[in-house]
Structure 1
């Protein structure tokens, strides 16, 4: 039962992140702008660290779980179920968001989107190419994991991890939104892409590979950087 509670927590946490973060882009972008969207994503993680962190550790991101697995902070079976729960939670969050957004005159998912990530002339908010998208997703995820591993290090003052991690994600979105909309989280990209596909728009799903591959590689690199720098104190 303790394991099931962890998986439910990861599912709920990821749903919260996708609904609040993507929701700020779909429902409130005209009011809050990119800065508000950045804070919505960062604050979502910050509050979830304290809401579900004591239960599951609050990964709510398959790239984080992958890094935790590779650097032996989580067992394989647990990591697999964490990822399953995260992808389900992201899909639920995106579905709820679509249900709300679709209830107003003038909303069209093909035009307004669902907060999905993308690259190129059509997918990127700023028209950035696939190389730019791949590079920024790799770098931002690596830096994010470096912050996470540092924030949860045994020598770091206890109780402040959520603040550091949440505000790191705010900074990441401030820089990255114009390029890809910012993923750094395969589940966060999967949820909106899946609901787009179900609603008849296959384009976000066709670009999903980048937002699975590059955050995963970036997470591993960020975890490796932390291991190298903190080796003597681990």
Structure 2
């Protein structure tokens, strides 16, 4: 069959994981918390992503973010077709989370993206770069379980806090869609930051064994030797 159980599981994992992350951020952004909302939302997002990595990480890798998927694609960690399927599932999950939230609130969210400003773009890109550093570390060092979840979750929290000095600190195009903060800034900046962050980590900080494996994978296949037929005397 074309759609095997494992392939369906990957799609469901990315859909559900992104919907869960979007729902958690939506709930906190629209809550009336007394403490510093920026830090609180960043902490909730990081904790939620930690939980997602622990629960579905072994199924799909728990990207739940188009920027992370594209960043890993540039490192050749994921095939093009698979990356497209991941991104489609992520965007659909975020859209469903938005519709569910608006239904439960009986209200329509206003667009919070705001006009384009370079400082906001840079803030989102830098935050995504910091976040993707943690993801790249977990992937290249082959961290598993709680170690991977902690590295990725805390990296998101730190990146979101840094970005929120000038932007909404979303760092995720899918979540931006779910927050009704969809714009060029919140679409392109996280992708740019993730691509830069992952490739910088891979270039300067990746373990030597990983670099050797990548170098070997990029080498052309050796030419097959054609056996010469013996001439009959």
TM-score normalised according to structure 2 size? 0.80
Choose between structure 1 and 2: higher helix proportion: 1
2:190 alignment counterpart: 215
- Which of 135, 141, 144 pairs up with 2:131? 144
1:59 alignment counterpart: 63
Residue 5 of structure 1 pairs with residue 3 of structure 2: no
Q: 172-181 or 58-67, which moves further after superposition?
A: 172-181
Q: Post-superposition shift, 1:20?
A: 0.4
Contact 2:123 2:165 in 1 (8 A): no
SS across alignment from 2:17: helix
Contact 2:12 2:89 in 1 (8 A): yes
Structure-2 change in CA distance of 1:183 and 1:33 (3 Å): closer
Structure-2 change in CA distance of 1:178 and 1:23 (3 Å): farther
Structure-2 change in CA distance of 1:157 and 1:92 (3 Å): closer
Q: What is the aligned-residue RMSD (CA, Å)? A: 2.1
Contact 1:11 1:88 in 2 (8 A): yes
Residue 131 of structure 1 pairs with residue 118 of structure 2: yes
Report matched runs for 1:1-234 at 5 Å. Answer: 1-30=5-34, 33-102=37-106, 109-110=109-110, 116=112, 118-120=113-115, 130-154=117-141, 156=143, 159-193=146-180, 204-205=181-182, 208-229=183-204, 230=206, 232-234=208-210
> Could you give the per-residue CA deviations for residues 100-133 of structure 1, whole angstroms, max 9, x where no partner exists?
223xxxx6634xx6xx5x245xxxxxxxx71111
Contact 2:129 2:159 in 1 (8 A): no
Q: Post-superposition shift, 1:174?
A: 2.5
Q: Post-superposition shift, 1:176?
A: 2.5
For structure 2, which runs of at least 5 residues remain unmatched after alignment? 211-233
Q: Post-superposition shift, 1:185?
A: 0.8
Task: Count matched residues.
Answer: 205
